Amino acid sequence: MTIKVGDTLPSVNLKYCPYDPSLEHACGIPQNLSTDSFKGKKVVIFGVPGAFTPTCNNSHLPEFHQKFQELTAKGVDQVICISTSDAFVMDAWGKWTKTNDKLILAADGNGEFVTATGLAQDLTKIGFGPLRSQRFALVADDLKVTYIGVETGSGVSVSGATAVLAAL
């Protein structure tokens, strides 16, 4: 079952490398990012099937970075991008795209978040493996989902920053 508006976010730990401009080419030690830390906050979480992949890299991630100020102006406290990659890949992707100054690029390496929310998919047929995130965006206010957009085709529409802004 896929998470829906009104549901509570599951309690899981993601991994991320905090933004540190002095660590230009290294992550350091990945930190836990518990979804429980979103209590009392308005967060946007968007999921991508893979870091560095064409749509994720050229459309999805950049739009959230470009519209970050608009999102925070509407009360968003944090914008988190998740993928089933590891924290080191997510850190490298954030540095390469220069988006980790505003966005948190977090790893759901074991797929706990996407599995618990019903947002996992099997992309074995294209060589990506059996556990990947669907392309989605959700807004949670004090852990309650207030918006969810899951893509059913290719490209970015309901999971993009423009759709999220329209829902806020």
Provide CB contacts within 8 A for 14, sequence distance 6+.
32, 33, 34, 35, 80, 82, 106, 107, 108, 113
Q: Does 30 have pLDDT greater than 80? A: yes
- The residue extents of the domains of the chain are 1-13+34-144
Q: Does 126 have pLDDT greater than 90? A: no
Average pLDDT over residues 3-28: 88
Output the pTM of the full model: 0.93
Interatomic CA distance for residues 168 and 10, integer angstroms: 21
| CATH number attached to the domain at 1-13+34-144 | 3.40.30.10
Residue carrying structure tokens 């706990």: 112
Interatomic CA distance for residues 54 and 126, integer angstroms: 14
Interatomic CA distance for residues 85 and 76, integer angstroms: 25
Question: What pLDDT is stored for residue 129 in this prediction?
Answer: 63
A 10 A CB-CB count for 82 gives: 24
CA dihedral defined by 147, 37, 64, 88, rounded to 10 degrees? Answer: -130
3-state secondary structure the chain: CCCCCCCECCCCEEEECCCCCCCCCCCCCCEEEEHHHHCCCEEEEEECCCCCCHHHHHHHHHHHHHCHHHHHHCCCCEEEEEECCCHHHHHHHHHHHCCCCCCEEEECCCCHHHHHCCCEEEEHHHCCEEEEECCEEEEEECCEEEEEEECCCCCCCCCCHHHHHHHC
Predicted confidence (pLDDT) per residue in 140-155, tens digit: 999 999 999 999 988 8
- Percent of the chain scoring above 70 in pLDDT: 96
Q: Does 165 have pLDDT greater than 90? A: yes
Q: Does 127 have pLDDT greater than 70? A: no
Average pLDDT over residues 126-143: 86
Average pLDDT over residues 158-163: 97
The catalytic site residues sit at: 56
Q: Determine which of 43-57, 65-79, 120-134 has the lowest per-residue pLDDT on average.
A: 120-134
Compute the mean pLDDT over every residue in the chain, rounded to the nearest whole number: 92
